[in-house]
Amino acid sequence: MTPDELVRPCPDDCERMRQDLIARDLPPVWSLDAAVARRLHREGVDATQAAWQPSLASMPVTVEDLPAADGRVAMRRYLPSGPPRPDAAPSRVTLIWFHGGGWVLGDLETGHAAALSACAATGWEVVSVDYRCAPVDRFPTAVHDAISATTWLLDLDRRVVVGGDSAGGNLAGAVAFACGDHPGLVGQVLVYPAADPSMSRASIGEFTTGPWLTDRDMGWFYDQYLPDDAARTDPRVDLLAAAAESGTSPVDAVVLTVGHDPLRDEGIALAEALRARGGRVTALHAPELFHGVLTSAGLLPSGQARVDELWATARQMFM
């Protein structure tokens, strides 16, 4: 891609959000204790979800908490409850969703808008997973939780798509490599995924100041998540290494990357690597948007348009 194709100025609605965040002068994630970072993150997400348009409560989706499959990892199920989409036959697809937050922040509540919106947009059942987070539970705990939850769903004879945003996209990608030979795993949806823990790609150095994700924030997340430097080369973390080494069957993918994101270049590289392995890959790139837009889309018409494109593409590929 040319430089202009990689990143463009934010549209007006995103720029207003950016200026508002700058004016609030919140402390950067990397400067905080993990518990404080989790609290502030939850407060921000709660405010965003309360202002979501149309209201999250108005979406035709039934929500229920599931008992933990293994006694440890809670899950939440979303089922379409409105009239069936006129453009889609009844679906047996289940999207298993892993929230973002750098493997440190987030839970079922902060992932609620993304999971609910995905259910409403696709007509699929969605299962959101409350995987255990660092620094209390470091790598590979979250990967084990993600694989365990996905295996539980696959054993129910569903057609499963794994998906997630940011760190959740990393977990979804790791699951796809681990479970790629299972015939029930039909696809993956990776939204600005973390894919290269070496943090050596050009876009990492382009975003050194906030208010959105920065290089220093990303370094802090890896420090919280990984027990040692050796884990950075583990293919369950380094998805680009996994793409080069994995012996499992390729899993078809939709990959969304955004311009204003230190993870931009590694996400683009991952889409290319998955395609090189022989999978069908649809790579969507939004040069005008920012890391985190998925969980803010209800406040941003420009972001919502791209999210609608994401789910329409996934429906077309994986129905």
| Of residues 179, 189, 68, 177, the one with CA closest to residue 119 | 189
Domain-embedded: residue 135:
yes
pLDDT for res 246 = 79
155 within some domain:
yes
Residue 319's alpha-carbon distances to 164, 231, 254, in angstroms, are: 18, 36, 13
Pairwise CA distance, residues 97 & 116, whole Å: 10
Task: Decide if 210 is inside a domain.
Answer: yes
In a domain, 308, yes or no: yes
Enter the DSSP assignment of 6.
H
**What pLDDT is recorded for position 86?**
57
Instruction: Give me the pLDDT at residue 67, please.
Output: 77
Tokens of 288: 């005008």
- 277: Cβ–Cβ under 8 A, 6 or more apart, which residues? 243, 246, 250
Domain span holding position 98: 9-83+90-318
Q: Select which of 41, 99, 112, 291 is catalytic.
A: 291
50-53 contacts at long range (C-beta below 8 A, 24 or more positions apart) = 51/298, 51/299, 52/113, 52/298, 52/299, 53/298, 53/299
Q: What pLDDT does residue 173 have?
A: 98
Q: How many CA atoms lie within 13 A of 202 on its CB side?
A: 7
| pLDDT at res. 211 | 96
Residue 257 pairs in a beta bridge with 285
Other C-beta atoms lying within 10 Å of the C-beta of residue 91: 17
CATH code for position 69: 3.40.50.1820
For residue 1, is it within any domain? no
Beta strands in 220-306 (DSSP E): 253-260, 281-290
Q: What is the mean pLDDT of each run of 10 residues along the chain (319 residues)?
A: 92 97 95 97 97 96 84 91 63 94 98 98 97 97 96 94 98 98 97 98 96 98 97 97 92 98 98 96 98 98 98 96
Q: Is residue 10 a contact partner of residue 289, using CB atoms and an 8 Å limit?
A: yes
Which residue is catalytic, options 107, 145, 252, 261? Answer: 261
Active site residue 166: yes
Give the count of domains, the chain: 1
Residue 111 in domain: yes
In a domain, 260, yes or no: yes
Residue 20 annotated to the active site: no
Residue of 117, 166, 203, 296 marked catalytic: 166
Provide the pairing of β-strand 253-260 with 281-290: parallel
pLDDT of 228 reads: 96
pTM: 0.96
Report the distance separating Cα 263 and Cα 270, nearest Å.
11
Q: Strand, helix or coil at 101?
A: coil
Q: Is residue 3 part of a domain?
A: no
Tokens of 21: 């965040």
pLDDT at position 69: 59
Name the helix (H) or strand (E) containing 118: helix 112-122
